[in-house]
Amino acid sequence: MRKVDVVPYDALWPLLFDIEAGKLQEIFGGRVLEIHHIGSTSVEGMHAKPVIDIMPVVRDIGMIDRLNVSMERIGYEAKREHGIPGRRFFQKGGDDRTHHVHVFEAGSVHIERHLAFRDYLRNHPDEASSYSRLKLGLAARFPAYMDAYIERKNQFVEETERKALAWHRGKSIG
């Protein structure tokens, strides 16, 4: 069973991202266009589950399945789409996860969604603080129930994602 563990921001998270992104770059080679640090560990000052979320953007998502063995060699478990069509998802660390890799093909709507959410929280510290408080409260309330924790933060995430996309698109236009 996965324990819900929300911790204060750790200044090592960007370094841990860089190290893992380097490993992924070696495996993906020319298939990868960009590798982004996403999720709460990518927002300075935010409380988070200590799991580094990484989003490689690739030319052809179909080619990624051929890399499962290489990913397994560095500790990842391949989970295929794992609930999001067009994604390839990998997790590292079993029940004590350390990394999630969300691979999307260039042009996927999910890329903009993840980057807009991250950038919105980076640029709106009050929203980031509200999200931190929510996560801390839910972790205290549901320390052994990851599904309940995720389900109860979804409303905030969906609401903030809508604002983030509008903010991002407005910023891109103007």
Number of domains in the chain: 1
Q: At residue 55, what are phi and psi to the nearest 5 degrees?
A: -125, 95
Q: Give the H/E segment covering residue 103.
A: strand 99-105
| Residue 7 covered by a domain | no
The domain in which residue 115 lies consists of 13-173
| Residue 93 covered by a domain | yes
The answer, as to whether pTM is greater than 0.85, is yes
Residue 27 sits in a domain whose CATH number is 3.30.460.10
Cα–Cα distance, 152 to 132 (Å, whole number): 13
∠ CA 140-144-145, rounded to 5°: 95
| Residue 154 covered by a domain | yes
Whether residue 45 contacts residue 9, with contact meaning beta carbons closer than 8 Å, is answered with: yes
| Residue 6 covered by a domain | no
| Residue 21 covered by a domain | yes
Cα–Cα distance, 109 to 71 (Å, whole number): 25
pLDDT in tens, the chain (174 residues): 678 999 999 999 999 999 999 999 999 999 999 999 999 999 999 999 999 999 999 999 999 999 999 999 999 999 999 999 999 999 999 988 999 999 999 999 999 999 999 999 999 999 999 999 999 999 999 999 999 999 999 999 999 999 999 999 998 665
| Residue 4 covered by a domain | no
| Residue 2 covered by a domain | no
| Residue 155 covered by a domain | yes
